[in-house]
Amino acid sequence: MQAIPFVKDFAFEYGRPAALSPLIRRVICKNPGPFTYTGSGTYLIGAGTGDVAVIDPGPMNAAHLDALIDAVGPARVSDILITHTHSDHCGGARAFAERVNAPIRGAGPHPVRDKKLDAPALEEGADYAFAPDAIIKDGDIITGEGWTIEAVSTPGHLSNHLCFALKEENALFTGDHIMGWATTVVAPPDGDMGAYLESLDKLLARAETIYYPTHGAPVLKPKPFVRAIRTHRRIRDGQIIDQIKKGRTQIKDITAAIYVDIDSRLHGAAALNVYAHLIRLVNRGDVACDGEPSTKSDYRPAD
């Protein structure tokens, strides 16, 4: 498996704003875990005296919301931007919006689950109560004093996932589409591996020179990083097909053979990643099963 150049260690202090560039500050919430790594990073865009945009205000965490208010200071929050509807990104959005009197902008509420797909919900948690004040879509532009942000639709991790490009610094805020510390969980029914890979290709065609994920350190060389993730997924396709040819026909057995030495809390996520690959492989005709692919299907090599 090709190594992805993750950065596991980076300096930060919970609740303290860190200046990452002339226009970017980050505050990390103290919600570490198997899906959030060190915690959810909230980004404040702006010089700190005029309009400020806030990307991913994080979970409903009183200490974190207080830290964000302190970081905003005398500036005016003009926009609250949400990458996607997992609660570690948007659970505190409404409470924060009420305190700063700013609109919440996102791609929409959490997607309705496809009942044909029987996958369980992940621990990271959907925020089914989330509702933006304004819908934004691919290519929409949000502006403030000294900054310009473009919404970039990147479905895959979730169908409503957005990245945000800061034009003045050629930077991209990647939410969970690209993370600095690990590969992204793509978990059906809300996640789609085919869409995820297409979104990776979309980023490769763009010009940003630095990525800021919600979890983990900035990605300083994004093009090689994205290519390594894409290669990783293609290799994973091949590993899954090989395991099926060896007689491992169910997801639990394929997962156990491929994912070794991972945190036990991530076993469910690993199985759903395998499921996402299998749905794509069945749709491409590389793998077969009876009926719609499910977590309980017996998979076999395509004829």
Q: State the pLDDT at residue 1.
A: 47
Cβ atoms 240, 277 nearer than 8 A = yes
Average pLDDT of the segment spanning 84-89: 97
Please calculate the CA angle 172-140-181 and round it to the nearest 5 degrees. 25
Q: How far, in Å, CA of 198 to CA of 221, rounded?
A: 20
Average pLDDT of the segment spanning 243-265: 92
147-170: pLDDT as tens digits: 999 999 999 999 999 999 999 999
Q: How far, in Å, CA of 224 to CA of 229, rounded?
A: 9
Kind and range of the H or E element at 72? helix 62-72
Contacting residues for 121 by C-beta, under 8 A, at least 6 apart:
none
Task: Give which of 21, 16, 22, 74 is closest to 42, Cα–Cα.
Answer: 16
Q: For residue 137, give both structure tokens.
A: 């879509």
Amino acid at 195: A
What mean pLDDT value characterizes the chain? 94
Q: How far, in Å, CA of 113 to CA of 188, rounded?
A: 9
Q: Domain residue spans in the chain?
A: 18-229, 239-301
What's domain 18-229's superfamily in CATH? Ribonuclease Z/Hydroxyacylglutathione hydrolase-like (3.60.15.10)
Contacting residues for 137 by C-beta, under 8 A, at least 6 apart:
107, 151, 153
**Which 3 state secondary structure label does DSSP give 211?**
strand
Return the DSSP state at 264.
Answer: G
**Which 3 state secondary structure label does DSSP give 153?**
strand
| pTM of the predicted protein model | 0.94
